[in-house]
A and B are shown apart, each in its own frame.
Chain A
């Protein structure tokens, strides 16, 4: 289901390049705003 402005951003677990798990919510708590860019793939 598509998100809309005003919705709570989903809490998800991602990995950094060393394979360590990281909470996405730690990103938006670290600054005023977070721009998330979901890539199609890295080709």
Chain B
């Protein structure tokens, strides 16, 4: 997603990362990833529950997960061990300025994220116009 920062900015999209890690872990993560996005924390995971994000030990620790973490470590990311609830799954949501959900993507496993091209399609100016037409019909 960092590669598309300028695309997201051009579409006036605010990117917010939500995590249930500690402030210390969050600062390490920001330093390591050089993320320019807003990072907010939810140690009790109330927002995860409110957004319907699931927990699954089986899906959290499948082969895809090990392959993904292996690739990240080969690229220089540090493994800091299991922190918090390792069964918690993530997801992506696009919310418009009125607080209405435009996209709700629930990750099947930790390596599962929507393609950025799909996000850009939803965020694009023509997509928002089409969505409003759908709501009025």
For B99, list chain A residues within 8 Å (CB).
8-9, 11, 25, 28-29
Interface string of B82-93 (1 = CB under 8 A from A): 111110111111
Q: How many A-B residue pairs have CB under 8 A?
A: 173
Q: Are A27 and B104 in contact (CB under 8 A)?
A: no
Q: Are B18 and A39 in contact (CB under 8 A)?
A: yes
For A29, list chain B residues within 8 Å (CB).
97, 99
For B20, list chain A residues within 8 Å (CB).
41
For B94, list chain A residues within 8 Å (CB).
33-36
Interface residues in A1-43 (C-beta closer than 8 Å to B)? 1-19, 22, 24-25, 27-43
| Alpha-carbon gap, A10 to B93, bound state (A) | 11
Q: Are A40 and B52 in contact (CB under 8 A)?
A: no
| Alpha-carbon gap, A30 to B98, bound state (A) | 10
Evaluate whether A42 and B28 lie within 8 angstroms (CB atoms) in the complex, with A17-B23, A33-B94, A35-B16 already known.
yes
Interface residues in B85-137 (C-beta closer than 8 Å to A)? 85-86, 88-97, 99-104, 106-107, 110, 119, 123, 128, 131, 135
11 contacts between A and B (CB under 8 A): A15-B40, A24-B16, A27-B40, A33-B14, A35-B94, A36-B16, A36-B92, A36-B95, A37-B15, A38-B47, A38-B91
| Alpha-carbon gap, A25 to B84, bound state (A) | 25
